[in-house]
């Protein structure tokens, strides 16, 4: 166990409370291990009726994964330790996705990357006025992993493709409207919701009783534009469609895409396309692990983290530099099967 995750029992609820406030509760390998151990222990414990995932103090639920570990691995050990991190994190994602007891994720605050990976598999996903949801990986040369291919590809109206490519942040009302959240509660009602679940009340009924009507979802106003401009699985088509629209919204989204890794954007489109053909979540995670095994050590990841997170110069030099230079052969190599003894497998 680790002090970065508080594992405890309150009544009939098991708690997994993220506890790295200075890092907005970004996930470490130790946190992943501790969550997995607790979930496995509670799986056969009749005294635990539900699992609550939340966070201690701070302004976010979970800002992502341990990016510094991943970058150091890419630069110093050929991606070996980074891939071990991904392997175990994806096993946790799959365990949550297939867990038979109800899991309730309280996405109160920043919920990005790895935070999406541990909240989207939950049966109940609670947004609040503080929620800020995003999958921003294309900006650092990574890709929307931790099950992002599965969750985003199944949103209607090409919303998932839009979120994967642009990294757009959604507020709590927008999460509810898109289906990324199941309930919208004011943050000052969360303690009451948790207390009722601890007492044995059915989580869905508790959350329904405490839900409130959210503000209008701002993204709804652009749903038709998103469905039209992001309709193609070919990245060049999306860019051309936006370029042909002189609206302020299209110009802003086109400018956003021009800052992203062309390689990653093409990977994301293929990932979401292929995820829809996966028989189950395990097959999706095996695909994402193959992608991770290649993308982690390609130039764009270390460069993207340097430019946006380490040095904060915001001037990544992508390689390949343009969408046209990202060949079909390169994308195919990123998705190719791994040797049989290196493939990802669920717990």
Give me the active site residues, please. 65, 114, 137, 145
3-class secondary structure, 82: helix
Residues in the chain: 347
Strand partners, 110: 60, 132
- What distance in Å separates the CA atoms of residue 250 and residue 256, rounded to the nearest whole number? 10
- What distance in Å separates the CA atoms of residue 16 and residue 53, rounded to the nearest whole number? 5
- C-alpha to C-alpha distances, 337 to 209, 326, 327, 342, nearest whole angstrom: 47, 20, 18, 9
Which of 309, 311, 314 minimizes the C-alpha distance to 67? 309
Q: What is the DSSP letter of 158?
A: G
The edge-to-edge listing of strands for the beta sheet with 50-55 is: 5-10, 13-18, 50-55, 103-107, 124-127, 183-184
């Amino acid at each position: 166990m680790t002090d970065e995750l508080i594992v405890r029992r309150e009544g009939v609820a098991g708690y997994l409370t993220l506890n790295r406030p200075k890092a907005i509760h970004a996930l470490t390998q130790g946190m992943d291990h501790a969550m997995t151990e607790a979930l496995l222990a509670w799986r056969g414990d009749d005294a635990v009726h539900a699992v609550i995932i939340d966070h201690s103090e701070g302004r976010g639920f979970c800002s992502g994964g341990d990016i510094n570990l991943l970058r150091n691995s890419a630069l110093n050990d050929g991606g070996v330790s980074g891939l071990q991190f991904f392997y175990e994190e994806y096993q946790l994602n799959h365990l949550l996705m297939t867990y038979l007891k109800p899991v309730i994720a309280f996405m109160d605050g920043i919920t990005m990357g790895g935070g999406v990976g541990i909240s989207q598999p939950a049966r109940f996903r609670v947004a609040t006025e503080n929620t800020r949801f995003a999958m921003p990986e294309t900006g650092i040369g990574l890709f929307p992993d931790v099950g992002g291919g599965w969750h985003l590809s199944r949103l209607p109206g090409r919303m998932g493709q839009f979120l994967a490519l642009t990294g757009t942040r959604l507020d709590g009302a927008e999460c509810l409207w898109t289906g990324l959240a199941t309930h919208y509660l004011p943050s000052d009602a969360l303690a009451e919701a948790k207390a009722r679940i601890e007492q044995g009340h059915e989580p869905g009924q508790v959350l329904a009783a405490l839900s409130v009507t959210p503000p209008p979802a701002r993204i709804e106003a652009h749903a038709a534009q998103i469905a039209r401009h992001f309709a193609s699985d070919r990245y060049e088509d999306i860019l051309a469609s936006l370029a042909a629209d002189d609206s302020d919204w299209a110009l802003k989204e086109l400018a956003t895409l021009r800052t992203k890794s062309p390689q990653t954007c093409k990977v994301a489109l293929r990932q979401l396309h292929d995820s829809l053909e996966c028989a189950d979540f395990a097959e999706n995670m095996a695909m994402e692990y193959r992608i991770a095994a290649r993308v982690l050590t390609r130039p764009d990841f270390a460069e993207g983290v340097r430019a946006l997170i380490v040095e904060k110069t915001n001037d990544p030099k992508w390689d390949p530099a343009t969408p046209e230079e990202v060949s079909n052969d390169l994308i195919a190599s990123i998705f190719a099967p791994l040797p049989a003894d290196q493939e990802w497998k669920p717990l």
